[in-house]
Amino acid sequence: MACTILGCELGEDDIDPQVFIYGDWKLLNTDELARNLFYGTDGANIEETYAFYDDGSFVKSRVSNKGQAVAQGNFKVAPLSASDDGALVRLEYAAENERLRGGCATEPRVEWLVLNRNGSLSSKLEISCQAPYLLYDKILP
């Protein structure tokens, strides 16, 4: 695989977004503005992670000074095309876990992310509904 500590390019022939998504991802931009707008936390420390598994399941975890919350569900990665900024990732939360769903997708229990060509994961699809731009980076072993 052509990944380095500096990241990966999903456009490279040997990187398949369907597989690259597997593993752990950590929220990078935990700045106060994003936290306050999105989480209403008044400056609370937020740590948020996604873990994607090869059986199509995911776990989302959020830890703050208010405690820890965990949600789970299933995901699918759309194929990457030459015209895309990245591959779309559709998360579908289990009914009892929807409270950690980010963004404002109109489908119940659904959240959309983008696996960007630079190897990061983002929420940029949700900008149209005033959700903040959240950026996640893959935690390399």
Whole-angstrom distance, CA of residue 36 vs CA of residue 42: 6
Q: State the pTM of this model.
A: 0.78
More confident residue, 66 or 74: 74
In 12-129, the DSSP E strands lie at 23-27, 47-52, 57-64, 67-77, 86-93, 110-116, 121-122
Q: Extract the tokens encoding 85.
A: 């900024």
Number of domains in the chain: 1
Is 6 domain-assigned?
A: no
Is 9 domain-assigned?
A: no
Helix (H), strand (E) at residue 135: strand 135-138
Is 33 domain-assigned?
A: yes
Bridge pairing between strands 86-93 and 110-116: antiparallel
Cβ neighbours, 10 Å, residue 77: 21
Structural domain range at position 97? 17-138
pLDDT digits (tens, 9 = 90+) for 86-139: 888 999 999 776 677 776 667 788 888 888 888 889 886 655 566 667 889 999
